[in-house]
Amino acid sequence: MNMSQELSKEPIFEGVGYEPSPFSRSQFVTSKTDYDYTVYKNANKDKSKRVLVMCTEERYMTMKNGKKFSTGNHPVETLVPMLHFEAAGFESDIFTPTGSPVALEMWAMPSEDDAVKGILERYKNKFEHPKSLEDFVSKGMKSEVDYVAVFLPGGHGAMLGLPENDDLKKIINWSIEKELYVLAICHGPAALLAAAHNEPAENFPYRGYQMKSFPDKIDTQTPDIGYVPGEMPWFYGEKLETLGVKILNDNISGACLTDRKLITGDSPLAANNFGKMSATALLK
C-alpha cells in the first residue's frame, strides 16, 4: 500500500471551516513550484507602470451541505505570476474590494520554495494592508500609477464576493476601454462574471472568447477526496459558458491561452508558464 492510500480523505477542521484532507494535499499541494527564474532582457524601467492584482478578502465558501471551506487566493497562482511581473520590471499593487486583508490559502503554500516565500515576504505588508477597490473606483480610477494589466489570481476565493462586485465590473470595463491585459488563472475567471452582474447576457464583454481555466468537472470530483467539505454551491464555468465563453479544457495540465487581451491558465500547474506568457505580453 502506498502512502497516499493510507492518508485520510477527511477534510481538516480549522475551527470555523475545513481545509483539504491530507490525501488531497498529497495530490494537489507541492512543496516546490516549477518557477524558472526567467530573465527578461527588455525589462520595464518605468516604475509607474504596474499590475493591479485583484484579490479576495473573503475566507469561507459555504458548500451545499452548509459546511465551510477555508479558501482564499491560492499562493502559487498568486505569487508565481507576480515573480514574473517583478522580473519583467512591473511592481504589483494589491487590491481587495474594501481594503480588508487578502485571504490566502496558506495550507497550499509551497514550504520549500525560496522564491515564492521571498516574494510573499516582500509583499507581506501589501497583502495585510491592500488598496481598496471601492476607493479607487470612487476616484474615477485616477492615480499616479499607470496600470498595464489587471490580474485575477485563482483559488476558490475568486468565487467569493468578486463575481457580483460592481466596482470590479467598472474595472473590467475600464481595462477593456484602455486596452489593458486581463490575466486570470484557475478559478480567477470567476471574477470576470462581475462584468455580467445586473447586465443582459449579450452585453458580456468576453462573449465569444476562449479560455483555459479550472474545469467544473474537477470541482464535481474534489469532494470525493476531501479537498472540499461538500458539493460546490455553484459552478463558475457553467455561468461563463452561458454567457458565451468557451472553456477549452476538461482536465488540468498546465495549459495557458491568450485570446486577444485575455490571458488564462488552468491551475497551479500553469502558474509558471502563465506568468511568463503574461510578463512577455506586457513587455511587447
Q: Which letter does DSSP use for residue 243 in this model?
A: T
Q: Is 55 annotated in the active site?
A: no
Which of 137, 158, 180, 186 is flagged as catalytic?
186
Q: Which letter does DSSP use for residue 67 in this model?
A: P
Distance CA 72, CA 89 (A): 27
Distance CA 150, CA 271 (A): 16
**Closest C-alpha among 148, 227, 245, 161 to residue 197:** 161
φ, ψ of residue 42 in degrees (nearest 5): -100, 40
What is the bridge-based pairing of β-strands 181-185 and 18-19?
A: unpaired
Compute CA distances 36 → 33, 265, 274, 276, whole Å: 9, 17, 12, 9
Task: Tell me the catalytic residues.
Answer: 186
